[in-house]
Amino acid sequence: MTTVTTLRRPTAATPPPARRRHRPSATAALRRLPLRLLVGLLIVVEAGPMVWMLLSSFKSQNAIVSGGVFSLPSSLEWSNYSEAWLTGDFAHNVWISVLVTFPALLLLLLFGAAAGFALEIMVWKRRNSTLLYFVAGIMVPAQMLLVPLFLAYFRLGLTQTVWPFILTYSAMGLPLTVFMMAAYFRALPREVFESATLDGASMLRCFFSIALPMSSNALITLGLVEFFSIWNDLLIALTFVTNPKLATVQVGLLNFSGEFGQTAYGPLFAAICMNVLGTLVIFLVLNQRIMKGMVSGAVKG
């Protein structure tokens, strides 16, 4: 007895049923309404002064003094920016801030990373107590050190140079940098440095060839934080400035005065806008590296 098998033609696969989009109900929308109102309020609080300052930088002196606070500019006064950059000597103030900020950042990050490497990677006695001394330096207010530092710089003849700014900013930011770099190096695998030591690498070679490249994201994050702290500082810069030619950006913003000592508001707002725009561009360019530096070292291994 023979069995006959019939071949069935393959049928096309039936498509899965389309998923229905779940629309939020009115109750869920009402629950999210306070949060959205709060976010909108925060945006207005943060962006409102920026927009007002930008609009005020295009106003004339008479429009700012006699017009309303929130009035729109009748005409765009582009001359405020040229007057702030050239006549107000804002370009020279920016150059002094660059001469002060970047050398201070270089010394700060170099010595901070080296101290963090020595405290966590190298093995020696009393390294934990030494780290506590650096942490204690974070709690020392800068206002207590201004007068002794000014007297020391004056006796050394450094008050007519930029060295008081560089040395003070480097010393003020060193405790936090050492603490953060030590925490970062603590999360790095020790096997990498042990293997390099067995291959004949010295401590300096391990630091410059292994530790610094592995901590580049953390260095960029700390560098940007310290950059904003140094660039926007007014107290230290105002204390050590004895020569108007050594005024930084923040000190230079205090000197925008016109005839009879009246504040030139248009050029002043223009200079503030240029200052904010420059720092904002730096933050946006390095934003992704900052996020990587904040989460780097979170997982060990």
Please tell me the predicted confidence (pLDDT) of residue 217.
Answer: 84
Q: What pLDDT does residue 104 have?
A: 94
Query: To the nearest whole percent, how much of the chain has pLDDT over 70?
Result: 85
pLDDT exceeds 70 at position 46: yes
For residue 300, CA distances in Å to 6, 58, 195 come to 62, 52, 17
Note the pLDDT of residue 32.
84
Query: 8-19, pLDDT tens digit by residue?
Result: 555 555 556 555
**What does the longest C-alpha to C-alpha distance in the chain come to?**
122
Q: Which helix (H) or strand (E) holds 133?
A: helix 127-138
Q: Decide if pLDDT at 301 tops 50.
A: no
Mean pLDDT over residues 41-61, rounded? 86
Ramachandran class of 11: left when φ > 0, alpha when ψ lies in -120 to 50, beta otherwise: beta
* 199-221 pLDDT per residue, tens: 888 888 889 888 888 888 889 88
Indicate whether this model's pTM tops 0.85: no
Task: Decide if pLDDT at 121 tops 90.
Answer: no
